[in-house]
Amino acid sequence: MTTREAFLSKIRAAQPASRPRPDVPIFPAPEGDLRTRFTTALTAMGGTCVEARSHDDVNALIASRFPDAAVIASAVPGVDGTRPLSRDTVPASLQDVDVGVVRGRFGVAETGSVWFSEEEYVVNSIGYLAQHLVVLLDPAQLIEGLQQAYRRPDFKSARYAVLVTGPSATADIEGVLIRGAQGVRSLTVVWLA
């Protein structure tokens, strides 16, 4: 037995007995429309919500909102991109993406967050390396709060999952809020069924 195997064997032998997870209560939801609450929470975190009726509207929105974008990577069929995304795309190859376009699986009204898995991102790095992230979200896919998110079967079955709330931000440098310091500079949620 190697040193590594001996070490791991000791760790496995010292594991506590399995026990059930505690039930997370469903807290009462605040008053108000889910969409309004989501928009308020996302806006407070520096994100933006806009309306669209079709993929053509989304293409026009991207062209007008990001006129200097040279590289657009879209994981949404029907939304134009200059960089194709596939499961074989090398994650680091997205380092020069100006605009990333993805569809969120669901949104959380409590926090203004959008949930993604490896299915939505296609290449996980799109959510972090793109300068601007445009998220298509069906308003019918809003849920009340995080307690409901944790109970969803897709939350439990995803190999990779992330809740994104607004663009990246930090206030570490002299207490000044800086957006886009470690990730996307802007997050735009587009309401589109």
- For the segment 39-98, what is each residue's pLDDT rounded down to a tens digit? 999 999 999 999 999 999 999 999 999 999 999 999 999 999 999 899 999 999 999 999
> DSSP letter string over 174-189?
TT--EETSSS-SEEEE
Q: Is 81 left (phi over 0), alpha (psi -120 to 50) or beta?
A: beta
What is the per-residue pLDDT across 5-32, written as a single tens digit (0 to 9) for each? 999 999 999 998 888 878 878 888 888 8
The answer to whether 66 touches 190, Cβ cutoff 8 Å, is: no
Give me the domains of the chain, ranges plus CATH numbers: 32-191 (3.40.50.10420)
Q: Over the stretch 139-179, which tens digit does the pLDDT of each residue have?
A: 999 999 998 998 899 988 999 999 999 888 887 777 787 77
Backbone φ and ψ for 11, nearest 5 degrees, come out as: -65, -45
Mean pLDDT of the chain: 92
